[in-house]
Amino acid sequence: MSERHVQSRDGELLAVTTRSRLRGARFFPAMLLASWQVRRQLTRTGGLVRSASLVAGPTEFWTVTVWRSRHAMQEFIRSGAHGRIMWRVSRWLDSLWLMRWRPGAAEAGAWDGLTLAPPAGGRQEPQVPTELEARRPALRQLPDLQAAIGSDGSPRYGSSQAARRQRGQVQGTGGTVVKISVPALRTPTALAELVRLRRRLRADGDLLRSVVGLGRPGEACFLGVWRDCGQAARFIDEEWVHQAAERWGAGFWAGAWLPENEFGHWDGLRLRQRRHHRGPLRDPTTADR
């Protein structure tokens, strides 16, 4: 399978991960049905690049979506099945964690034929239009507005003061996603490999949280959240990744992501508060005992 690179209009894709923990296993059937409904909506959604909806256990669900733009992502959130069921889902949850990322440069393989890392050398900025240059003196009187305008004269949320503040709260951390796609009968083998990976990485003090889940038949994924973005990138260059890429061929993809903003918490972990904390992380269910 030939690989293709996908790029958004402004050169940067947006990735979103969510992790939901239910209040109890009794909510599993309802949550599973809701996940199927949202998955069907995703297949008909414009601006979606790739997605995975995964089950990690009887009380744990998570999703990965990659978008061409923030606008496309927000339109999906507000519409269709997702918009209808979110008010119900909140009553089933013990915790919700949402993280927005942008793809980093470290990547191995392709996600169903697509590579997501930015091109080597980074995004090339367009020439500054003459009319924008003429407005520079006036914009200097409005620094927040000036910061939110790209070099082509168009407004960009990613350059706004709010976005820069949220990015600063989680800056320095990193994420990694590993996805294995195989024929349905080989699903247990793929899942077992990612479970072993997770167990091995638990000994690494820089890995803050991790989860393994099953999606569609033949689809298994790993998500790791790292204290340091450099460690996330170095993981993609590990021998395990190279060997897994050879073993699974076109069905293997792994990528490192850089954080944009965070909402909620992952069993008590908030990257915006704890990224500078050193030492082992305590289990939140036993920390106060």
- Going from N- to C-terminal start, the domains of the chain cover 4-119+168-274, 130-167
Higher pLDDT, 73 or 156: 73
pLDDT of res. 145: 45
Paired with 181 in beta bridges are: 219
The C-alpha atoms of residue 156 and residue 71 are separated, in whole angstroms, by 11
Contact indicator for 221, 213 with CB cutoff of 8 Å = yes
pLDDT beyond 70 at 160:
no
pLDDT of res. 234: 96
Contact indicator for 214, 58 with CB cutoff of 8 Å = no
Higher pLDDT, 41 or 209: 209
pTM of the model: 0.80
Greatest mean pLDDT among 160-169, 247-256, 260-269 lies in 247-256
The C-alpha atoms of residue 74 and residue 95 are separated, in whole angstroms, by 21
pLDDT in tens, 15-35: 999 999 999 999 999 999 988
CA angle 150, 156, 157 (to 5 degrees): 145
Q: Which amino acid is at 193?
A: E
Query: Model confidence at 168, in pLDDT bands (50, 70, 90)?
Result: confident
User: For 33, phi and psi rounded to 5 degrees?
Assistant: -60, -45
Contact indicator for 209, 225 with CB cutoff of 8 Å = yes
Higher pLDDT, 4 or 209: 209
Query: Model confidence at 120, in pLDDT bands (50, 70, 90)?
Result: low
pLDDT of res. 280: 42
**CATH architecture, domain 4-119+168-274:** 2-Layer Sandwich (3.30)
Query: What average pLDDT does this structure show over 244-259?
Result: 96
pLDDT in tens, 50-109: 999 999 999 999 999 999 988 888 887 777 665 666 667 778 899 999 999 999 999 999
